[in-house]
């Protein structure tokens, strides 16, 4: 079930706020620092630099439960190669100013991805085998249910890991780009979707196959 969708198209933007278009009254994404809307792969996209971010405030409809499963999916274009630091793409703490509930980062020395969840026994993570290509769009989908977590890259399952301990529900804000304690990436994000259910592989492939405008 789709519970939030930020297209970042110009028609959804009012000043420094990009509205949710899913109809579930999720909060608008607030464009902070140098974040801006620019031409993207399909209409417009969110442009971020290392020190920029957009913040989607915490809300009841964005509380992600492992019991029911949840999924996040979006297109990303990274325009800078490895910098020697972990760079944040998306980050959602357990609560505001609390432990990392869910995070997705680029490796310091490679264009690989790490996705992390916080469980009752501490952090659990999965690393991509795929490498993103600088300057090219990729579709990422992260799917979680009671059995484990799966990372899809460009519509195909790339990496998976079982979850031996329950996930602590990530109920805090969603940070796109720079998080409070880590730099972000330089590039674009488009078509961010949040689901209150685990997407099946066919649904992930359909999202990844959307034509660019």
Closest CA to 114 of 99, 101, 129, 98: 129
pTM of structure: 0.95
pLDDT at 181: 79
- Ranges of residues in the chain with a pLDDT under 70 are 212-213
Phi/psi at 203 (nearest 5 deg)? -65, -40
List domains and CATH numbers for the chain. 2-208 (2.60.120.200)
3-state DSSP percent of the chain in helix, strand and coil, to 5: 5, 45, 45
pLDDT at 92: 94
- If one counts every other C-beta atom within 10 angstroms of the C-beta of residue 133, the result is 11
Residues 79-130 pLDDT 10s: 999 999 999 999 999 877 777 789 999 999 999 999 999 999 989 999 999 9
pLDDT at 212: 65
pLDDT at 182: 83
Strands 137-144 and 70-78: antiparallel
Question: What is the greatest pairwise CA distance in the chain?
Answer: 44
Structure tokens at 100: 């990392």
Which residues is 100 bridged to in the sheet? Answer: 93
Residues 66-76 pLDDT 10s: 999 999 999 99
**CA dist 146 → 66, 101, 122, 160 (Å):** 6, 16, 16, 13
């Amino acid at each position: 079930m789709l519970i939030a969708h930020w297209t970042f198209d110009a028609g959804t933007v009012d000043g420094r706020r990009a509205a949710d278009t899913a109809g579930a009254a999720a909060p608008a994404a607030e464009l902070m620092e140098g974040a801006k809307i620019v031409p993207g792969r399909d209409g417009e996209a969110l442009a971020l630099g290392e020190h920029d971010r957009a913040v989607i405030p915490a809300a009841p409809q964005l509380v992600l439960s492992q019991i029911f499963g949840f999924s996040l999916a979006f297109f990303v274009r990274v325009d800078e190669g490895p910098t020697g630091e972990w760079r944040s793409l998306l980050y959602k703490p357990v609560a505001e100013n609390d432990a990392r509930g869910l995070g997705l980062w680029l490796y310091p020395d490679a264009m690989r991805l790490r996705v992390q969840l916080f469980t009752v026994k501490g952090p659990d993570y999965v690393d991509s085998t795929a490498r993103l290509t600088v300057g090219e769009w990729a579709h990422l989908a992260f799917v979680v249910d009671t059995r484990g977590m799966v990372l899809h890259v460009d519509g195909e399952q790339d990496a998976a890991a079982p979850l031996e301990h329950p996930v602590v529900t990530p109920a805090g804000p969603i940070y796109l780009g720079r998080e409070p304690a880590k730099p972000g990436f330089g590039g674009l994000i488009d078509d961010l979707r949040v689901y209150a259910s685990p997407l099946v592989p066919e649904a992930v492939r359909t999202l990844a196959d959307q034509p660019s405008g």
